[in-house]
Amino acid sequence: MELKQNIAHSDWTKLLRAPYVVRMKIYLDGKFVDSSEAKVSVFDHGLLYGDGVFEGIRLYGGNIFRLEEHLERLEYSAKAIMLQMPHTRAELRELTCETCRQNGLTDAYIRLVITRGVGDLGLAPWLCPKPSIFIIASKISLYPQEHYDNGLAIVTVPTRRIGPAALPATIKSLNYLNNILGKIEAKQFGALEAIMLNEQGYVAECTADNVFIVHKGTIITPSSSQGALKGITRDTVIDIAAEIGVPLRESDMTRYDIWCADECFLTGSGAEVIPVVKLDGRVIGEGKPGSITQRVLAAFRRRVLVEGTRI
């Protein structure tokens, strides 16, 4: 909840103690329930061990952007951790749409989560007989508009991205502690987002976003083998590059490449496409959103209203 700067100091305690209640309908294990009644068991392995998968999806003007791609990635993530999907893709498609309808939303952020379900206090997933599913549709605003207009100043954090041999970044699991540590460090450095390197020192991704640079007219992004999530918005930008006639390639990338880039931008379902104008105190390019970044953002905004599933 964003609080205005002109609130008197004496009012802070009242505001912090006041209940922040958002009434909405949540799909939970076969039925829609009020948000106040949406509860999972303390024995759910999603809570106990982060054992589960999820997708963050956007709704624009009544159009769920690239829903099929999100559901496919969800299925792949579930298969990778040997988690039985509780619904078919067609059923999940309809449940996702209905969650938006139940809440009267035309623009929203959707969180679709499947956990291993209730089990005992041991790690064994085969002792969890039934997975649990819930779908939330609500509002989200990750960055103030000024950062889309003027660009972000970000940093590189010490915490390294988990390597693909330990936990492939292509699995969008509930285990986000690695990213959270990076986010904490970003805040300690006064930044809203941060670059995370892999164990070899190459750029993997940001704490919650994929990263792109523009160098001499070419868009460059790290490959998933370096620890980058195969983001849906990332894939969209790859398509957009071909559409607007800008060459794009995947390549190993170091901090030096970002420092010396002409432009930089981040992508994600929550962040969409947001420019970066400074990394580790070094100004990128001219210190303002570049022309190719602006073309990519404009093309992305056109696509979100027509590519996907109508609710």
Same domain, 159 and 280: yes
Are 59 and 65 a contacting pair, CB within 8 Å?
A: yes
Are 254 and 285 a contacting pair, CB within 8 Å?
A: no
Give the integer Cα–Cα distance in Å for 288 and 19: 40
Same domain, 173 and 296: yes
Same domain, 22 and 114: yes
What pLDDT, on a 0 to 100 scale, did the predictor assign at position 13?
Answer: 40
What type of residue sits at position 110?
I
Same domain, 153 and 292: yes
CA distances, 100 to each of 57, 64, 270, 300 (Å): 11, 9, 17, 22
Same domain, 125 and 193: no
What type of residue sits at position 52?
G
In the set 25, 31, 130, 172, the catalytic residue is 172
**Residues of the chain below pLDDT 50:** 1-20
What is the torsional sign of CA 81, 86, 90, 92? negative
- Residue ending a domain, among 138, 171, 197, is 138
User: Which CATH number characterizes residue 79's domain?
Assistant: 3.30.470.10
- Residue ending a domain, among 138, 171, 188, is 138
Please count the structural domains in the chain: 2
Same domain, 164 and 127: no
4 in any annotated domain: no
What is the torsional sign of CA 72, 101, 309, 58? negative
What pLDDT, on a 0 to 100 scale, did the predictor assign at position 141?
Answer: 81
Q: Residue 158: which domain range?
A: 145-309
What pLDDT, on a 0 to 100 scale, did the predictor assign at position 203?
Answer: 98
Give the integer Cα–Cα distance in Å for 275 and 247: 19
Same domain, 104 and 152: no
| Contact partners, residue 177, CB within 8 Å, separation at least 6 | 50
3 state SS for the chain: CCCCCCCCHHHHHHHHHCCCCCCCEEEECCEEEEHHHCCCCCCEHHHHHCCEEEEEEEEECCEEECHHHHHHHHHHHHHHCCCCCCCCHHHHHHHHHHHHHHCCCCCEEEEEEEECCECCCCCCHHHCCCCEEEEEEECCCCCCHHHHHHCEEEEECCCCCCCCCCCCCCCCECCCHHHHHHHHHHHHCCCCCEEEECCCCCEEEECCCEEEEEECCEEEECCHHHCCCCCHHHHHHHHHHHHHCCCEEECCCCHHHHHCCCEEEEEECCCEEEEEEEECCEECCCCCCCHHHHHHHHHHHHHCCCCEEEC
Same domain, 168 and 304: yes
| Contact partners, residue 132, CB within 8 Å, separation at least 6 | 28, 29, 40, 44, 46, 86, 114, 115, 116, 117, 118
79 catalytically annotated:
no
Same domain, 108 and 174: no
Same domain, 189 and 292: yes
